[in-house]
Structure 1
């Protein structure tokens, strides 16, 4: 099957793939938890701060074995192994075996396993497992979203000034002016606060279950967000590009909210350059 052909699948197929992702996530999470505080090899992958440990590699090997065995005809896009299978395969698993590696390497317990299934580039099945809190988030298109098998939904916060947001910073933040610092400062002034967890998947599930009201970030990869996107949408939230247009995973930019503050947050992001220029000018006059 090529990407030009419309893939055929049923709700029962989605349920099957959801169970496969769950099996893989739980197994990988158990491996990660067993290595907590015991990692011996911490390396950089060519970019400062982009770390990999034996936990990443061993967890990914577990996930790949399960998915290859259960879905041999599907392609895989994994953080450590890259593209496996045909690029034009309409079924592709996007896998981050340990999202939040820097946290894990520093024994900071904010990390998770993220497994998403893209069907014709659309996130359709998602599982995120946080072994440190024993929280299993699952969703599939039209099947709803759950936390530890119980339904979840996004928050009801209706205005940006009452919201609590989360964001992150890409590995290239030191070398580029498009580093999300102005957006972070601007939104900190407009809301009740902006957090940073160090894990895009955890940020998305926290929006999905109503702990946070919105999330935006640049410089992230499909495996960071594929699973979380499904979970947010099935929990009643909205996921889009910064300007509210349809999300394109290849851009590395994402805006996810409870839906009620989506337009307002999008407008605030668009206004950031002008705000930052005014802020910088005001600061310069005081120096």
Structure 2
């Protein structure tokens, strides 16, 4: 299916960044055995990928704003449109030589995400969606799962690490959810977690402590695949609050009740 001119720019840019990061990833695997380790190298790879993406998108649409993980936000001449970018989602996986990471690019228009692209170079899986046009993985249409029983459902989350204020709450979530479902996965890349919900691989996903660039592209892909997505606090805003829960329509209310402690 052919997308809009903006979507084509996003896909071309994501693939270019993916090729660059794939080369860096092969180097990271070699650095695992060195005394210094790959930490500094990965930081440079992350920053270089964002620079590549920023230059490509700003060249194609010089009046749009730009919000990325690594650099300061650029305000565009057109205040209604903004790119929201995570150049390397799953940095810790990348750092450890695990092939589960992605590039995430979203386009925001008047506060709403209208297009999203998530590219996983290791598996050559490109997830994408535009508002009103459905969600796709490469050339295949995506639909969320049809499971209707929590007991049959697998969920994903992102567990906090280090001194995080969210850890006690997340442990409470797990204590309520694990007895009620078929399993919980923690793969360390929120963009891919959302893409996997859209593809029906996961039945739902929730997480706290996120940023707009972590979820912007995945949000529209899930919704265009037929999923429901809300902030954990129903009165909040996903992109501003950094919390999300999403699932297929059949189990959404059950899942939300568990996560919200209802």
Give, in angstroms, the shift of residue 58 of structure 1. 1.5
Bigger shift: residues 246-255 or 170-179: 170-179
> SS of the residue aligned with 2:216?
helix
Cα offset for 1:227?
0.3
Q: Which residue of 1 aligns with 2:39?
A: 42
Separation of aligned partners in 2, 1:250 and 1:171: 21
Write the distance in 2 (CA, Å) between the matches of 1:262 and 1:151: 21
In the other structure, the counterpart of 2:14 is 25
Q: Tell me the equivalent position of 1:103.
A: 93
114-123 or 224-233, larger mean C-alpha shift = 114-123
CA contact (8 A) 2:159 2:167 kept: no
Q: TM-score, normalised by structure 2?
A: 0.90
Question: Partner of 1:250 in structure 2?
Answer: 240
Mapped to 2, the partners of 1:184 and 1:165 lie a distance apart of 10
Deviates more, 1:143-152 or 1:209-218: 143-152
Going from structure 1 to structure 2, the CA distance change for 1:210 and 1:87 (only over 3 Å counts) comes to farther
Deviation at 1:167, TM superposition (A): 0.3
**Kept after mapping to 2: 8 A contact 1:137/1:148:** yes
Alignment-derived partner of residue 44 in structure 2: 54
Counterpart Cα distance in 1 of 2:159 and 2:68? 21
Specify the SS of the correspondent of 2:229: strand
Q: Is the 8 A contact 1:97 1:114 kept in 2?
A: yes
TM normalised by structure 1 equals 0.82
The answer to whether the Cα contact below 8 Å between 2:117 and 2:127 also exists between their aligned partners in 1 is: yes
CA distance in 2, matches of 1:103, 1:248: 24
Contact 1:153-1:208 within 8 A present in 2 as well:
yes
* Structure 1 runs not aligned, ≥5 long: 1-11, 44-50, 273-287
Partner of 1:114: 104
For structure 2, which runs of at least 5 residues remain unmatched after alignment?
32-37
Shift, 1:62, TM fit:
1.2
Offset, 1:185: 3.0
Give deviations 1:176-224, integer Å, cap 9, x for gaps.
5555122123211110000011000000000001001000000000000
Distance 1:244 1:154, change over 3 A: farther
Q: Supply the distance in 1 between the matched residues of 2:78 and 2:172 (Cα, whole angstroms).
A: 38
Distance 2:158 2:77 in 1: 29
Pair 1:146 & 2:143 matched? no
TM-fit CA distance, 1:126: 0.2
